[in-house]
């Protein structure tokens, strides 16, 4: 399922990335790794797999000597003071698909790591040769930052390097400088043993999920009270009451609103007031009150349907002639 070491090495060769490799017994720590490859001219890396309170994951890859302070990093990401923890062991297997002791930036080649944010130490850029595990702890590979970049770009990642030791102030007037590194559409893998389907992820599964869960969830959205929620992806339970591209749901919503308004218009008083003309009166009122609302609902429906079609179109495989 996950990429194997051999597949990775083959890929590196395909991309014509310069690297060398060295096999050694399985190592679980940087110290152990140093015993085998520490004197070969490259610089060792230390790699942390972290998780925040909202179940978003991060790989921090740094020079072994760089001091990484999780509290500072957490603040710089905008997660508050204690927002970052080491990710649990299960996550290593589930998300990065590497064994224990083998966290490496190369793990982002896996689809399951799609939403893992990658933070790279700018210290790598000035080194001739950096050492990483190629998805397995029984080997180390040596390459420079350009090689790493080339690989990352080939899997659709935009490598950016940061000063991991910096400690800029974070406050009202100084927004967290690494906020851009917080994944904005992470799948909902809250409790790993129970795999919830991703709520929104760019492989398009969200489109199926949207139409299904619209049927599952009940009425109105719980109003989110603060600006933070705008950035978070809604968890499954917070689905809009407006159905997404589901014609049946859409029509139900329209009929619900129309009948609610109709019922409110017909009362003893209004019957007395309008008598036989009540029908006309109510019809006009309904049109007047609902016109804009229903048009808005229809536009949302149209946009959603178009998006589904567009998405399918971009992944369409033309007929073979």
Partner 1 sequence: MEKTEDKNQQQEEEQVVNPWEVSAKDGGKIDYDKLIDKFGCQRLDQSFVDRVQRLTSRPPHVFLRRGVFFAHRDFNDILDAYERGDKFYLYTGRGPSSEALHLGHLIPFMFTKYLQDAFKVPLVIQLTDDEKCMWKNLSVEESQRLARENAKDIIACGFDISKTFIFSDFDYVGGAFYKNMVKVAKCVTYNKVVGIFGFTGEDHIGKVSFPPVQAVPSFPSSFPHLFSGKDDLRCLIPCAIDQDPYFRMTRDVAPRIGYHKPALIESLFFPALQGENGKMSASDPNSAIYVTDSAKDIKYKVNKHAFTGGQDSIEKHRQYGANLEVDIPIKYLNFFLEDDVELEHIKKEYGAGRMLTGEVKKRLAEVLTELVERHRRARAAVTEEMVDAFMAVRPLPNMFD
Write out the residues near partner 1 by the rule CB under 8 A. 160, 172-173, 177, 179-180, 184-185, 200, 202, 204, 206-207, 210, 221, 223-227, 229-231, 234, 238-242, 244, 293, 295-296, 299-300, 302-304, 306-308, 310-311, 314
**In the bound complex, what is the minimum distance in angstroms from residue 239's beta carbon to partner 1?**
8
User: Residue 145 CA to chain centroid, in angstroms?
Assistant: 25
**In the bound complex, what is the minimum distance in angstroms from residue 56's beta carbon to partner 1?**
15
- Judged by CB, which is closer to partner 1: 7, or 299? 299
- Judged by CB, which is closer to partner 1: 88, or 240? 240
- Judged by CB, which is closer to partner 1: 27, or 244? 244
**In the bound complex, what is the minimum distance in angstroms from residue 290's beta carbon to partner 1?**
13
**In the bound complex, what is the minimum distance in angstroms from residue 178's beta carbon to partner 1?**
9
**In the bound complex, what is the minimum distance in angstroms from residue 303's beta carbon to partner 1?**
4
**In the bound complex, what is the minimum distance in angstroms from residue 258's beta carbon to partner 1?**
17
- Judged by CB, which is closer to partner 1: 67, or 288? 288
- Residue reference for tokens 């080339």: 150
Run of H or E including 132? strand 130-132
N-term to C-term CA, the chain: 33
Distance CA 163, CA 174 (A): 17
**In the bound complex, what is the minimum distance in angstroms from residue 76's beta carbon to partner 1?**
12
Phi first, then psi: give them for residue 291, nearest 5 degrees: -50, -55
- Judged by CB, which is closer to partner 1: 21, or 203? 203
Residue 257 CB contacts under 8 Å (≥ 6 apart), including other chains: 290, 293, 294
Coil/strand/helix, residue 258? helix
Run of H or E including 8? helix 5-14
147 neighbors 18 (Cβ within 8 angstroms) = yes
- Judged by CB, which is closer to partner 1: 6, or 293? 293
- Judged by CB, which is closer to partner 1: 160, or 212? 160
**C-alpha pair distances (Å), 149 with each of 97, 111, 194:** 21, 18, 35
Instruction: Give one DSSP letter per residue of 163-177, joined into a string.
Output: -TT-----SSSS--T
Coil/strand/helix, residue 61? strand
30 neighbors 46 (Cβ within 8 angstroms) = yes
Which two structure tokens, joined as six digits, stand for 69?
């302070």
CB count within 10 Å of CB 251 equals: 12
């Amino acid at each position: 399922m996950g990429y194997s070491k051999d597949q990775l090495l083959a890929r590196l060769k395909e991309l014509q990335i310069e690297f060398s490799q060295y096999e050694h017994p399985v190592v679980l720590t940087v110290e152990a790794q140093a015993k085998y490859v520490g004197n070969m001219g490259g610089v060792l890396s230390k790699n942390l797999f972290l998780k925040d309170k909202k179940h978003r994951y991060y790989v921090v890859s740094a020079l072994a000597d760089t001091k990484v302070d999780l509290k500072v990093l957490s603040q710089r990401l905008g997660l508050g003071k204690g927002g970052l923890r080491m990710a649990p062991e299960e996550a290593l297997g589930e998300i990065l698909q590497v064994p224990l002791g083998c966290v490496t930036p190369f793990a982002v080649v896996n689809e399951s790591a799609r939403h893992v944010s990658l933070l790279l130490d700018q210290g790598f850029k000035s080194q001739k040769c950096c050492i990483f595990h190629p998805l397995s702890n029984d080997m180390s590979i040596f390459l420079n930052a350009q090689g790493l970049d080339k690989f990352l770009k080939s899997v659709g990642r935009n490598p950016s390097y940061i000063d991991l030791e910096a400690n800029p102030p974070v406050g009202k007037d100084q927004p967290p400088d690494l906020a851009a590194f917080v994944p904005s559409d992470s799948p909902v893998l809250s409790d790993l043993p129970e795999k919830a389907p991703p709520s929104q992820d760019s492989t398009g599964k969200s489109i199926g999920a949207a139409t299904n869960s619209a049927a599952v969830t009940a009425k109105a959205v719980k109003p989110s009270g603060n600006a933070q929620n705008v950035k978070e992806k809604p968890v499954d339970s917070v689905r809009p009451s407006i159905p997404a591209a589901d014609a049946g749901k859409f029509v139900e919503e329209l009929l619900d609103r129309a009948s609610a308004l109709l019922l409110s218009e017909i009362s003893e008083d209004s019957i007395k007031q309008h008598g036989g003309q009540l029908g006309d009166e109510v019809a006009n009122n309904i049109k007047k009150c609902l016109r804009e609302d229903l048009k808005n609902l229809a536009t949302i429906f149209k946009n959603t349907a178009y998006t589904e079609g567009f998405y399918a179109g971009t992944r369409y495989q033309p007929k073979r002639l």
